[in-house]
Structure 1
Amino acid sequence: MTETALPQPSNASTSASGSRPVWQPVLLRALVTLAFGLTTVFWGNPGTVGLCVSVALYFLALAASHYWVLRTLDLPRGDSRRMAIAGAVGLLSVSAVVAAVSLSAVVTAWLAGAALAVMGAAELFAGMRKRTAGGGRPPLRGDWIISGALGLGTGLLLPFFAAAGPHAILGVMGGGAMMTGALWTLSALTLRHDGGKAKAA
């Protein structure tokens, strides 16, 4: 699924800036989303406090992984992809804090829906940029498009479950997280594999 499966310069699959490998922050994001998704599967009765705290922790970890991806890609400060994703990361962080202090399932559902939808839209925007400033393919382009569509869909769906209780809200979020986590795991493994081939060449 990742764009690194296509023919690119030898260092494109291993790093985006210097010697920093892209697969590491991508794998962190995959692990964060999969861990949250699995938690929602096995947590039978989270309650309102459990919902708010788990969503807050998830969003903070997700924001950190997105920030690491941006740092590793080393996009220019004026790059619109960087600005879009950085803005969505800020919304994730703010939503995490508000969800933790609100202790309201309805508020958390709406906040989480807005944050996931904005992040999904930002990833779609980043992925749909066909060329970078140097004329090459944007890093993670295909993954951003698929992940963005999943995030946007999950975010738009969440408000409809705001009154259904913590378990239902976590179920919707967890389903999206599992699919996104699987995507980014495949992406990280592909990046790592292509990086090994580039070093051996």
Structure 2
Amino acid sequence: MSKPVLIRAGVALIFGLTTVFVQEPGTMWMKISLALYLVFSGSAMWEYLRRDPVPEAMRSPLSMAAAAWMLGTIVLFFFSTPAGVGITAGAALLLGGVAELVAGFRHRREFAPARDQLITGAVGVGSGIGLFLGSGLNQHAQLGIAGGGALILGVMMAVSGVGMYLDVRKAAQTDA
């Protein structure tokens, strides 16, 4: 179960770091980097929600999050202005964040990893709102908003994924 969490962490950290180091991104760079971030995050979420320990009822809102990111990836390429790209990515992040919050709030008591969705959902909502409010900014600033959220998300997911991995490893050693 830790693999999709760690993949999502890696995707978020790579995207976040590129937003720091690419100083003058054009609109095409903005589209491609946001599209890659959204599609790989969505793919990792699809893989995560297919895992056995994830409660069946939690899969619907998490599917909605993944679908919002995938749809956002497609819609991004219909816009040629930084504002259009930023608003589209903001909408995808906001919708995905709300879906993660719903999953987290509903299942946080019976499924401990659902508490992670409270944090990732809040980061997604914050990044989405930030992109809406910053839609008049240049590409670098908008990528900075999304990348800042991605860095927060990536660090949190990496800690969570490593914790899951170590818990599973410890349980396997205890059973043996």
Using structure 1 for the length normalisation, give the TM-score. Answer: 0.81
The 1-side partners of 2:40 and 2:70 are apart by 9
Counterpart residue type for residue 82 of structure 2: A
For residue 106 of structure 1, the aligned residue among 83, 101, 104 is 83
- The alpha carbon displacement at 1:130 in A equals 4.1
Tell me the percent identity: 35
Q: How big is the shift at 1:103?
A: 2.6
Structure with more of its chain in helix, by fraction: 2
1:38-84 Cα shifts (integer Å, max 9, x gaps): 010100011111101111111111110110101124543xx2x2111
SS in 2 for 1:172: helix
Question: Gaps spanning 5+ residues in structure 2: where?
Answer: none
Q: Secondary structure at the match of 2:77?
A: helix
**Could you tell me which amino acid in structure 2 is paired with residue 169 of structure 1?**
Q
Instruction: Tell me how far 1:181 sits from its aligned partner.
Output: 0.2
Deviation at 1:101, TM superposition (A): 3.5
Q: What is the CA-CA distance between 1:99 and the residue it aligns to?
A: 0.8
Superposed counterparts of 1:7-156, under 5 Å = 22-73=1-52, 75-76=55-56, 79=57, 81-130=58-107, 137-156=110-129
Question: Which ranges in structure 1 are unaligned for 5 or more consecutive residues?
Answer: 1-21
* Aligned pairs, number: 173
Partners in 1 of 2:99 and 2:123 — Cα distance? 12
Q: Which moved more, 1:136-145 or 1:23-32?
A: 136-145
Question: Offset at 1:139?
Answer: 4.6
CA contact (8 A) 1:116 1:152 kept: yes
Query: Which among 139, 153, 163 is matched to residue 190 of structure 1?
Result: 163
C-alpha separation between the residues in 2 aligned to 1:49 and 1:199?
47
Residue 130 of structure 2 is aligned to residue 157 of structure 1: yes
Distance in structure 2 (CA, Å) of the matches to 1:130 and 1:84: 11
Contact 2:68 2:93 in 1 (8 A): no
CA distance in 1, matches of 2:79, 2:14: 24
CA RMSD of aligned residues (A): 1.5
Q: Distance in 2 between matches of 1:98 and 1:121?
A: 19
- Alpha-carbon distance between aligned partners in 1 of 2:46 and 2:59, rounded to the nearest angstrom: 10
Cα distance in 2, alignment partners of residues 37 and 144 from structure 1? 19
Give distance in 2, aligned partners of 1:72 and 1:39: 30
Q: Provide runs of 4+ in structure 1 moved above 6 Å.
A: none
CA distance in 2, matches of 1:75, 1:137: 9
User: Which 10-residue stretch deviates more, 98-107 or 51-60?
Assistant: 98-107
Q: Report the alpha carbon displacement of residue 93 of structure 1 after superposing the two structures with TM.
A: 1.0
Structure with greater Cα Rg: 1
**SS of structure 1 residue aligned to 2:20:** helix
More contact order relative to length (CA 8 Å, sep ≥ 6)? 1
* Separation of aligned partners in 1, 2:114 and 2:71: 26
